[in-house]
Chains A and B, each alone.
Chain A
Amino acid sequence: MSFMPDFALAAPEIWVAAMICIVLVADLFVPGKNSATSYYLTLLTLAVAAWLTIDAQWGAEAMTFSDMYIADSLGVVLKVAIYGLAALAFVYSRDSLIRNKLMMGEFFVLGLFAVLGMMVLSSANSLLTIYVGLEMFSLAMYALVAFNRNSGTSAEAALKYFVLGALSSGILLYGMSMVYGGTGSLDLGEIAAVAAADGDNILLLFGLAFLIVGVAFKFGAVPFHMWIPDVYQGAPTPVTLYLGTAPKVASVALFMRLIGDGLGAFADQWQTMLIVLVILSLAVGNIAALVQTNFKRLLAYSTVSHVGFILLGLMAGTEEGYAAGLFYAVTYGITAAGAFAMVMLLQRDGHEIGDISDLRGLFQRHGWSALVLLLLMFSMTGIPGTVGFYAKLLVIQAAVNVGHIWLAALAIVFSVIGGFYYLKVLKVAFFDKPEGELEMVAPGGYRAVLAGNGLAVLLLGLFPQALIAVCMAALA
């Protein structure tokens, strides 16, 4: 037995970890306004990490660090999606951070730490690695939510998020200890073997229940969704953008590694739990979103409902279902990034977009950004021609194919209700009379990114083949 683990296999993680230190130090010593060095170094880090990941891990199926770390295609898809969404979040955030005097190297260091945590999570093959990754990313997120130290709501949101998150991590950890108690192993492969052989293992069942609670919290599924509206509204919008996108993919990673890989044999049990989560998330998310007047809060509740859809795909417990959930999370991330960017890049009377009514007259003032908003909202509704349609189609199809027709029908009913509040946003943006100042504050480059984001939603909606193929290949 070689004592030295194969470090090369985990090159992306090592690279990111090293770069975090470099960014941290560089920010201290490199002169320059607004942490431009940190910003570019961060983007470089993500780009190189993507290259390393794809180059070294795509199509591989290898383990290192005493089988605690796995490099496989699923990990690659998850990680590359995380890099992409994180990079998108950083790019969008820059202008807003500078304007609010929050442009500090710490933002990127914490952001990269979260990325690293999510990476570890995506490549975890042991309960221990999962937990390490999860905590690394959660702790960085807590800190990011509190990033605006002078804002009371930000601090309140961070504190709540931290306390609830700590409790949920505790529950998850407890579940892990049950699973360990029941199987005598931390290795997901071995756990799966024991689970397959011993279907009535009561400890595993208990552990599963706790694990689902922990996973549901990370997703923000009802009834563990309480933190989402608070945090989304309270956190600085750049952080909300980040929190609302990449971590959804990470949550899928958490589910697939922990539940899918580890406890796939208990599908009957966790399917029931997930069905409850799906129904509640769809119902509460959609109905509560109807009455929101604050745009960020509306997006928060809509996130809850989208989580319902992601879980609907995962619930199927088939490769098709996992791929659908993954596809949904990735495309939702792209769509949500654009929507939150709208909040940051537009200003009503010198402030960020707060209420939905702040968007009134957007079409008359900034026609193109209204069109982008249209595409984004259509995609969230699931209207054909945008990528959201395929996302919904895939998850519903997955549910139908495992025989949950009524659940699929329910999902459709709720997506109709969901359509209503997205249309409300569009109605305000397109039909209401423009009053007061509604400005696009960011420089031209940001508009280009935003337009590209809208275009991506459209193009992926017309030609989804490639992305679906990638998601399916990840699970094959």
Chain B
Amino acid sequence: MTAATSLITLIALPFLGSVIAAFLPSNARNREAWVAGALALGALAIVISLHSAVADGGVVRLQLPWVPLLGLEFSLRMDGFAWMFALLITGIGFLVVLYARYYMSPEDPVPRFFSFLLAFMGAMLGVVLSGNLIQLAFFWELTSLFSFLLIGYWHHTGAARDGARMALIITGTGGLALLGGILVLGHIVGSYELDVVLAAGDAIRAHPLYLPALLLILLGAFTKSAQFPFQFWLPDAMAAPTPVSAYLHSATMVKAGVFLLARLWPVLSGTQEWFWLVTAAGLSTLVLGAYLAMFQQDLKGLLAYSTISHLGLITLLLGMNTPIAAVAGIFHIMNHATFKASLFMAAGIIDHETGTRDMRRLRGLRKALPITATLAIVASAAMAGVPLMNGFLSKEMFYTEALHTTTPFPLLGELLTYAAVVWGIFSVIYSLRFIHGVFFGPPADDLPREPHEPPRWMRFPIELLVLACLLVGVIPGRTIEPYLHTAVQGVLGEATPEYSLAVWHGFTLPLMMSLGAMFGGIALYATLRRFLLNRVDGPPLVRLVGRRIFERTLVFLSWRLARPLEARLFTWRLQRQLLIMVVVTLLVATAVLWGTDFSLPPIDWSAISPGLALVWLAGMACAIGAAYMAKFHRLAALILLGGAGLATCVTFVWFSAPDLALTQLMVEIATTVLLLLGLRWLPRRIKDARSTVRERSRRLRDLVIACVAGGGLGGLAFLVMTRPLPDSIARFFVERAYSEGGGTNIVNVILVDFRGFDTFGEITVLGIVALTVYALLRRFRPAPESIQRPKQQRLAAAHDDAHAARPRGDSIPQHMLVPSVIMRLMFPAAGALAIYLFLRGHNMPGGGFVGGLTLAIAIILQYMTGGTRWFEARWRINAVRWIALGLLCAAATGLGSWLFGHPFLTSHTRYIEIPLLGALPFASALLFDVGVFLLVVGATALLLLALAHQSIRSHRGQGVPAPTVSRKEKS
């Protein structure tokens, strides 16, 4: 197996194991553990076998194409530093699996546990072995995810759920920040490949985006490594099963943060920003964590805060900007992983055997658990930094560096020294609490369970780790030194400094500090013992606010901020929504004006004739009135709308476009009438609410907005129209209307000739619309509130009822007597006008469309004055047939041109002399126009019928359930 294939196997093994474990039956605790243990051991073996390849600064690489378009390869890269981490992850991983076999109870769903644990191991290996920063962020988020699942493993307890959630939110968020930082880094360097990035240190530090990138990356690292002020998630994560804590908080999860700091140390460190940010975070975490650890009553809580403190130490060392400090940091990563894993496991055994982790209840366990006690004592000594332990060595290096560090502010150097000693004292105190409080003194007799030594193999991982602590502490040169060198070379490369791991350096100042801290700690512990033991959980003086801030933020974001925001920004009311849309559009349009030297083209006011201006003023007044009345009086609004339309018609006439004017006029009348008919079925006008000031000001606001928006649109239209259009199609029509279409009424020629095909489509649509309206209204059921007869009819009926001589309904046929007689007399004239308009349409204002509309209006007028019943009794036109006939006529004309070998709808123009009438234009378009005429009449009449018929229906249906009515009507 080559080194490169070993790498991919190394990554794949845990994930493979995860899948296998997930499918094993839930009661197969042994098989699970065998599979997981074997795979972890296999991975460990691979890591060990790879040592030779990386020992002398060598790098093993493997690249597979993944998303080459993004410059992403699936890239694995193992140098000495990654090797060290891989060793910790797989080694301690294996021990944790072994330990968990005995720790987990048979009732727990074990497959899930091992599945998550192995997947987590794989993700963590992915983080340390990624040769590509995006891929690193990918695996980084996966570790957050799997740690979430592991912490929340016992999800039936609320603490586990909360702890898991908090861990995920904090570390997941940090991971996204990290991703952002990596994107910026990639932007600076131009590649995400770690090799390229590591080689570009100077360019990165000099880049203006260095600080944002640094901040984002540090945010990721600090959240993961529980650095102040993000430390608060870690203690809550103690709700996880102890093997998980032992794994996550010693060798993996929290180490990912410091791993990243060390990984990017060559490119990011060495600047003031790095120094201040990283040391500040590290130093505060260091002291705070140790201080808080002293006051914990929960064994795991103590270890959790101690973990925070030690991570602070590593961060601080990496922040000091000197290679020696970085070496110390890397060294401490290894040491901390060893002793902290063993301590967590020991705490787990105590919990497992006694049934409690409360240090107020635990004492004198030395007798019941002699071997475990010994192991735990040695491991605690390492944690406290007692000589001949591995913890001592890295602590000494830290003290040396603390004394020698050079900063622009001498005061800070001194502060660092004192903080280091204070930290030493605190560490000794909490270590002593762990040792002395739990194992010494008279044996407790009120424990939930009678403690016994755990099974042989449950203790084995601790033994192994403690042995490592001791060996490293006593003979560092023969044990750890070459491996540390390998790791350090991976980070520092050429810049690896000279350092020595000797146990004895002589009576140096750092040793004095160590001893002072130790004795100070012992003395202080002796004094404070009772005080510490009898306290409730939690420290004095410092109230930890991080967690509360976090929860407050959550509540604030998800509730306090979000609710009013939603209430304000969202509305169910359509008017509001429209208002927002119009206002925003106005704002955007105004924003465009901002900063441009824009002015409307000059207007020659004197050129505007006062007559037209008056018409326009009237039109504008009508438009504003219509908008204003729309809510209060629909009829008035409609009439005013008609007024505005009329002003437009007059304008057309004014500018010598009578054809346009006539078309517009007819359309205006027809639509107004149809709208009027529809109005009948809308609810009554809303009660005038002019009373309150609020109402009035709101309406005023709406009015202003409407005027501004309308004015703006008008202005823009003016702007467009006053620009010379380069090549307008209008000229084409004007020039050719007569020569090619044989008519001088351009609108009509466009309709029936130039754009005949469009017209054909349009009349088809018109026909369909009429049919659809008819089909829809056939089953129309008026709203209950509008089913009542109109007021006028009710008054008339009441009048009839009051007079015995008058039969009911007598008054109604008469109340429109005069108009109806006039209209009946006018009907033939109107019909003649329609035909006249139609015939002359080719050259003069008129045409099929206008003629049809005229006839339709005449019909509508009959209906309006005569009443529905009278009208329907005399109505002989089958509207649907007219529509069909019109359409066929138009189509036939179009097809007719095929007979003569021309394309569809080609027009033929000719004038025919007809006796009496004179020369009539007879373009083939005329036939087409007949079709238009027929269809317009038919469609309008059908619409009318559909709308008007309702008035009979609803009254007939009064008092009868509505559905029956509609069914009856179908026939």
Contact = CB atoms under 8 A, between A and B. Distances in A.
Interface in B33-69: 65-69
Interface in B549-584: 554, 557-559, 561-563, 565-566, 569-572, 574, 577-578, 580-582, 584
A174 B720 CA distance: 11
B614 interface: no
B581 A217 contact: yes
Contacts of A472: 69
A159 B574 CA distance: 9
B173 A416 contact: yes
Contacts of B66: 463, 465
A56 interface: no
Nearest to B588: A209
B797 interface: no
B727 interface: yes
A177 B713 CA distance: 11
A230 B578 CA distance: 14
A407 to B, nearest CB: 11
Contact of B592 (A209, A229, A463): A209
A423 B588 contact: no
Given A203-B723, A396-B179, 18 more contacts: A164-B577, A164-B581, A174-B713, A178-B716, A206-B592, A224-B581, A273-B588, A284-B565, A287-B561, A290-B558, A383-B172, A385-B142, A396-B183, A400-B183, A400-B186, A400-B187, A420-B557, A420-B558
B577 A226 contact: yes
Contact of B70 (A182, A394, A409): A394
A460 B240 CA distance: 32
A468 to B, nearest CB: 5
A405 interface: yes
A208 B585 CA distance: 11
A223 interface: yes
A382 B720 CA distance: 46
Interface string A159-186: 1100110011001001001100110100
A140 B259 CA distance: 56
Given A160-B574, A164-B577, A288-B570, A224 B558 contact: no
B723 A412 contact: no
Contacts of A382: 176
Give the residue among B176, B559, B719 with the most A Cβ atoms within 10 A. Answer: B176
Interface in A228-272: 229-230, 269
A171 B585 contact: yes
A400 B184 contact: yes
A384 B574 contact: no
A424 B67 CA distance: 32
A226 B580 contact: yes
Interface stretch (B133-141, B387-395, B527-535): B133-141
Interface in A185-222: 200, 202-203, 205-206, 208-210, 212-213, 217, 222
Contacts of B277: none
B603 to A, nearest CB: 17
Contacts of A384: 137-139, 141-142
Interface string B705-739: 00000000100100111010111000000000000
A25 interface: no
Nearest to A171: B585
Interface in A408-451: 408-409, 412, 415-417, 419-421, 423, 427, 430-431
B868 to A, nearest CB: 27
15 contacts: A167-B582, A181-B719, A203-B720, A205-B592, A206-B719, A208-B592, A288-B566, A291-B562, A383-B172, A393-B70, A396-B180, A408-B184, A412-B177, A420-B558, A469-B69
A459 B648 CA distance: 62
Interface of B: 65-70, 134, 137-139, 141-142, 145, 155, 161, 165, 168-169, 172-173, 176-177, 179-180, 183-184, 186-187, 209, 212, 216, 554, 557-559, 561-563, 565-566, 569-572, 574, 577-578, 580-582, 584-585, 588-589, 591-592, 596, 598, 713, 716, 719-721, 723, 725-727, 903
A227 B577 contact: yes
A291 B556 CA distance: 11
B716 A383 contact: no
A59 interface: no
Contacts of A273: 588
Give the residue among B67, B141, B168 with the most A Cβ atoms within 10 A. Answer: B67
Contacts of A159: 574
Contacts of B723: 181-182, 203
Interface size class of A (residues with CB under 8 A): 35 or more
A401 interface: yes
B209 A405 contact: yes
A423 B184 contact: no
Contacts of B67: 390, 464-465, 468
Contact of A465 (B68, B581, B596, B720): B68
A389 interface: yes
B216 A223 contact: no
Interface of A: 3, 159-160, 163-164, 167-168, 171, 174, 177-178, 181-182, 184, 200, 202-203, 205-206, 208-210, 212-213, 217, 222-224, 226-227, 229-230, 269, 273, 284, 287-288, 290-291, 382-385, 389-390, 393-394, 396-397, 400-401, 405-406, 408-409, 412, 415-417, 419-421, 423, 427, 430-431, 463-465, 468-469, 472
Contacts of B172: 383, 416, 419
Contacts of B216: 409
A65 to B, nearest CB: 14
A383 B141 contact: yes
A287 B596 contact: no
A53 B585 CA distance: 37
A389 B592 contact: no
Nearest to B70: A468
B854 to A, nearest CB: 30
Contacts of A463: 66
B69 A423 contact: no
B142 A178 contact: no
Contact of B562 (A229, A290, A389, A401): A290
A409 B212 contact: yes
B562 A213 contact: no
Contact of B727 (A184, A227, A412): A184
Nearest to B188: A400
Nearest to B720: A181
Query: Top 3 A-B pairs ranked by shortest CB distance?
Result: A181-B720, A384-B138, A184-B726
A304 B134 CA distance: 27
Nearest to A205: B592
Contacts of B137: 384
A409 B565 contact: no
B562 A287 contact: yes
A167 B596 CA distance: 27
A400 B216 CA distance: 13
Given A393-B134, A416-B173, A431 B585 contact: no
A431 B212 contact: no
B723 to A, nearest CB: 6
Contacts of A222: 569
A124 B952 CA distance: 49
Contacts of B558: 290-291, 420-421
A230 B577 CA distance: 11
A431 B184 contact: no
A209 B65 CA distance: 43
Contacts of B141: 383-384, 389
B716 A465 contact: no
A287 B565 contact: yes
B725 A291 contact: no
Nearest to A224: B581
A431 B584 contact: no
A206 B589 contact: yes
A3 B168 CA distance: 66
Given A203-B723, A291-B559, A397 B183 contact: yes
A390 B138 CA distance: 10
B186 to A, nearest CB: 8
B592 A408 contact: no
